[in-house]
Amino acid sequence: MKWANFHSHTKYCDGKGEIQEIAEEAIKAGCISYGFSSHVPVPFDSVWNMKMSDLKNYLAEIDNAKEQYSSDIQLYKSLEVDFIPNLIGPESQWIKDLNLDYTIGSVHYVDAFKDGMPWEIDGTYKLFYKGFDEIFNKDIKSAVKRYFELTRMMLEDSRPDVLGHMDKIRMHCKSGETFFDEQEGWYVDEIDKTLNLVKQKNVIVEINTRSIYKKVADEPYPSVETIKLARDKKIDFCLNSDSHHYSEITKEFSFTASLLLSLGIKTIKVFVNGEWKDFYFNEQGLLV
């Protein structure tokens, strides 16, 4: 059983485990290729982003692991880069200067509270509700549309190689005042506009299994309906677990691979030998 995972976190951000330890577990899990993508440092207080003072060691440890395990696995150096207008994005010059192997671009923050603190959309429900209330006056449609507007701004102005969990805004919108119907025309239109830009910019959409194994939803990010729309636009996919512990490296991959196959998706992108290549797969793994 062979797999690959390109969205993973370590002790350097909100994940657990040493880089060497995770590399060894990735080998045991059958990964032919593996990318470390800790949360990028940001210039404000955050409990889950890496500290800028740790960045040098993080990158050096990955370089060392690349050499140490080169006969067993291909290891790659990345960051999950937040997009915040006029502050940070995947193509910020200092990010480009790091010479990463690839970038994941994600929107975790949507606008800011009156004190200037960015609103984190995928933390606790209490914090999500606070931003929904104080920034968007309890208008979930406006909040969701702003999330996708920021995603499109990133695609246009600070292009990543991979778009991370592109519809994560829906994680706290299943009931109560923050509920919205994903079949409504305005929402489908936001998805469609975003996917059109994904296609135009030749960005890979990750299929992120974390929502399944954390029991946030019974389908990945993005949703099955969004995957269908992306498939019809001939957009490329990669399969990632967004692991925060080595036990999650390939979690729910078999289930999700089966789902993708049922949707007529036959290949996923895998980063090997320094480039993204198409690989056929089945429920047991990559066909290599």
* pLDDT interval class at 219 (50, 70, 90): very high
Q: Which of 266, 209, 282 is nearest to 1 (CA)?
A: 282
Residue 156, judged by CB atoms within 10 A of its CB (0-12, 13-18, 19+), counts as exposed
Q: Which of 136, 161, 127 is nearest to 48 (CA)?
A: 127
Q: 33 phi and psi, to 5 degrees?
A: -150, 145
Residue range of the domain that includes 211: 3-286
Instruction: Report the CATH number that the domain containing residue 100 is assigned in CATH.
Output: 3.20.20.140
Tally of domains in the chain: 1
Please list, in sequence order, all residues whose beta carbon lies within 8 angstroms of the beta carbon of residue 36, skipping any fewer than 6 positions away: 8, 10, 19, 22, 58, 62, 75, 76, 77, 78
User: Taking the model in full, what pTM does it have?
Assistant: 0.97
The pLDDT tens digits for 104-122 are 999 999 999 999 999 999 9
Q: What integer is the mean pLDDT of 167-178?
A: 94
Q: Which of 245, 277, 261, 276 is nearest to 103 (CA)?
A: 276
> Virtual CA dihedral for 242, 182, 90, 247, nearest 10 degrees?
0
Which strand ranges, in their side-by-side order, compose the sheet holding 267-272? Answer: 267-272, 275-282, 285-286
Half-sphere exposure of 280 toward its Cβ, with a 13 Å CA cutoff?
Answer: 2
Model confidence at 175: pLDDT above 90: no
Task: Please tell me the predicted confidence (pLDDT) of residue 8.
Answer: 98
The pLDDT tens digits for 68-98 are 999 999 999 999 999 999 999 999 999 999 9
The pLDDT tens digits for 134-164 are 999 999 999 999 999 999 999 999 999 999 9
Amino acid making up residue 54: D
